A and B are shown apart, each in its own frame.
Chain A
Amino acid sequence: MVTDVRLNNRSIKRPDASYKIRRSQIPQQRPAWLKFQPNGHPYPNVVIEVSVNHEEPQRLLADMQRYFTPFTSTRVWIGVKYWTAERKFWVGWAERRRHGVGGRLHTQMSWPPDHHDINVATNIVYNIPMTTIYGPNIPMPQGLPLTVTLDTDIIRLTILDEV
Chain B
Amino acid sequence: MSAAVFGVKHERTCIRMTSPQPTAAVDPEAEAIDNETFKKCFDKAYNTWFRWNLIAADLRKIVESYEVTAEEFEQLAGNRQSQRYIALINGRIRFDELSGPPHGAIIGRITKLLGTQLDGPNGVEMLCTVNDDGILT
Contact = CB atoms under 8 A, between A and B. Distances in A.
Contacts of A16: 84, 103, 107, 132
B136 A51 contact: no
Contacts of B126: 21-22, 25, 134, 138-141
B137 A2 contact: yes
Interface stretch (B25-33, B35-43, B92-100): B92-100
Given A16-B84, A50-B103, A158-B105, A1 B133 contact: yes
Contacts of B122: 141, 143
Given A55-B96, A82-B102, A150-B113, A18 B130 contact: yes
* Chain B, interface residues (CB within 8 Å), range: 35 or more
B9 interface: no
Contacts of B109: 154-155, 158
B113 A141 contact: no
A150 B106 CA distance: 12
A52 B114 CA distance: 20
Contacts of B106: 50, 52, 80, 82, 155, 158-159
B20 interface: no
Contact of B130 (A44, A63, A139, A161): A44
Interface stretch (A5-13, A28-36, A94-102, A108-116): A5-13
Contacts of A150: 110, 113-114
B131 to A, nearest CB: 6
Contact of B97 (A53, A134, A159): A53
B127 A80 contact: no
Interface string B69-111: 1100110000000011001111100001111111101110111
Nearest to B124: A141
A155 B110 contact: yes
11 contacts: A17-B110, A19-B129, A44-B130, A48-B107, A48-B111, A52-B100, A141-B119, A158-B102, A159-B105, A162-B101, A163-B102
Interface of B: 1, 5-6, 69-70, 73-74, 83-84, 87-91, 96-103, 105-107, 109-111, 113-114, 117-122, 124-133, 135-137
